[in-house]
A = this chain, B = another copy of it.
Amino acid sequence: MDDIEIDEVATPELDDPVLIEGLPGVGHVGKLAAEHLLEEFDGELVRRVYTTEFPPQVSVDGDGVAELTCAEFHAVETDGADLLVLTGDHQAGSNKGHYTLTTTFLDIAAEFGATRAYALGGVPTGELVEEYTVLGAVSDGDLVEALEDAGVEFRPDEPAGGIVGVSGLVLGLGGRRGFDAACLMGETSGYLVDPKSARAVLEVLAALLDFSIDYESLEDRAEEMEEVVGKIREMQDGPAVPDDDLRYIG
């Protein structure tokens, strides 16, 4: 096997498509957001990318059939812009792999005519988030204004540790080769999978690319997560009968 192998599943004509990257990361915000796009809009699988940078792993589907780990591009037509949505279960396994793989991803996007790219992700706050701000970073200062109009917040020198992984390189490498690239980072505690943060990111994206989308299934996942959190709290706190009551009985 070559270091990277690309299966060309389909090559539909797309109208000035926008690359949307949603690989795993903080709070799985980017991945949740990208997968929600695929669920709501019935995307068409167009490319599979296999690489020796991914773990040597297959996943098993509902029928017991194994599929080799890969990243996938789906073409998605919305009522607004056409999208080229990149999802998968893994980032690269090495520094160099991140560079090589992101270069391949940008090559594929360019092949479909994309000149704009949004890297979706989360930014950890370390505490429970009440209001889901979406932080931005761009490959070019000219892009800031339109993003601010869509509700994105820019904070000087933030995130302090920079942006790492494929999302960071979509900006860094994408910008160097002429993409108009932006990173949309939903604030999230960093401790849990966060569908609410994914929704906040998608709302910004919908405003920017002029499409409308339903959030019900994402809300359902958010409620499931809240139940999980509730149960964890219960287990930590023990039965909900306070000491005072016991004394009263005594």
The yes or no answer to A165 lying at the interface (CB within 8 A) is yes
Q: Which chain B residues border A55 with CB–CB below 8 Å?
A: 95, 164
The yes or no answer to A166 lying at the interface (CB within 8 A) is yes
* Contact with A65, one of B60, B65, B138 (Cβ below 8 angstroms): B138
Looking at A1, A62, A92, A164, the one whose CB has the most chain B CB atoms below 10 A away is: A1
Task: For chain A, residues 26 to 60, give those with C-beta under 8 angstroms from any C-beta of chain B.
Answer: 52-60
Q: Which residue of B lies closest to A106 (CB)?
A: B1
The yes or no answer to A139 lying at the interface (CB within 8 A) is yes
User: A147 vs B9: C-alpha distance in the bound complex, in angstroms?
Assistant: 30
User: A171 vs B57: C-alpha distance in the bound complex, in angstroms?
Assistant: 9
* Contact with A95, one of B56, B141, B166 (Cβ below 8 angstroms): B56
Secondary structure class of chain A's binding surface, majority of residues: mixed
User: A157 vs B64: C-alpha distance in the bound complex, in angstroms?
Assistant: 7
Q: Which residue of B lies closest to A91 (CB)?
A: B56
Distance in angstroms from A24 CB to nearest chain B CB is 14
User: A188 vs B26: C-alpha distance in the bound complex, in angstroms?
Assistant: 33
Query: Quick check: which of A76-84, A96-104, A220-228 contacts chain B, the rest being far away?
Result: A96-104
Between A and B, 16 residue pairs with Cβ closer than 8 Å are A52-B95, A52-B96, A56-B92, A56-B98, A56-B99, A56-B169, A57-B163, A57-B168, A58-B171, A60-B157, A61-B156, A63-B141, A63-B144, A65-B138, A66-B138, A66-B171
Instruction: Give the B-binding residues of A (Cβ under 8 A).
Output: 1, 3, 52-69, 92-93, 95-96, 98-100, 102-103, 136-141, 144, 154-159, 162-166, 168-169, 171-173, 175-176, 183
